[in-house]
């Protein structure tokens, strides 16, 4: 009877929002938890599970669901904000934001990371057309989103 006064309606918050199913943490991984959270949210955006202005659960909620510290979630959200993927406001919380190329100051970094990854494939002897094929196949699994006309 240790955790008795928990599980009131106070623990749920932000329209009783549960942590989405696409968020899965691998605790044994060498990838930091905050990085995993960040990557999976970006992936969820690409997969269409999250759209522009989609709400994300509160940091304390996610932390509670995974049994981790809310500061870890906060770090992921803050990173997403600095990258332009979400907006953060108090009380309202965390919302997905349509990141534009304008925000993408690290597009050179993206290209560099892609180049490093492709080089690794080449150094492995992977055929170039196979890699391109893999990229096309992977991209085809993402829904083809319509860019709204009011995007500026």
Residues forming the site for DNA (CB under 7 A):
9-10, 13-14, 17, 30, 32-35, 56, 58-61, 68-72, 74-75, 77-78, 81, 88-94
- Contact residues toward a copy of itself (CB under 8 A) are 39, 42-43, 45-47, 85, 98-101, 103-104, 107, 110-111, 113-126, 128, 131-132, 134-136, 138-139, 142, 144-145, 147, 151
Give the integer Cα–Cα distance in Å for 106 and 100: 12
Give the integer Cα–Cα distance in Å for 144 and 94: 24
Residue entry with tokens 């269409």: 48
138 interacts with, out of DNA, a copy of itself, none, CB within 5 to 8 A per kind = a copy of itself
Axis crossing angle, helix 107-124 with helix 128-140, rounded to the nearest 10: 130
């Amino acid at each position: 009877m240790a955790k008795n006064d928990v599980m009131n309606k106070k623990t749920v918050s932000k329209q009783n929002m549960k942590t989405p199913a696409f968020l899965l943490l691998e605790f044994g991984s060498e990838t930091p938890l905050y990085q995993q959270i960040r990557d999976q949210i970006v992936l969820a955006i690409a997969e269409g599970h999250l759209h522009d202005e989609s709400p994300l659960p509160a940091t304390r909620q996610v932390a509670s669901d995974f049994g981790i510290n809310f500061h870890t979630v906060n770090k992921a959200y803050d990173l997403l904000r600095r990258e332009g993927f979400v907006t953060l406001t108090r009380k309202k919380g965390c919302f997905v934001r349509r990141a534009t190329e304008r925000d993408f100051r690290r597009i050179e970094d993206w290209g560099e990371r892609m180049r490093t990854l492709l080089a690794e494939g080449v150094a492995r002897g992977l055929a170039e057309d196979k890699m391109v094929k893999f990229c096309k196949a992977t991209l085809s699994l993402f829904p083809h989103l319509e860019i709204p006309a009011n995007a500026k």
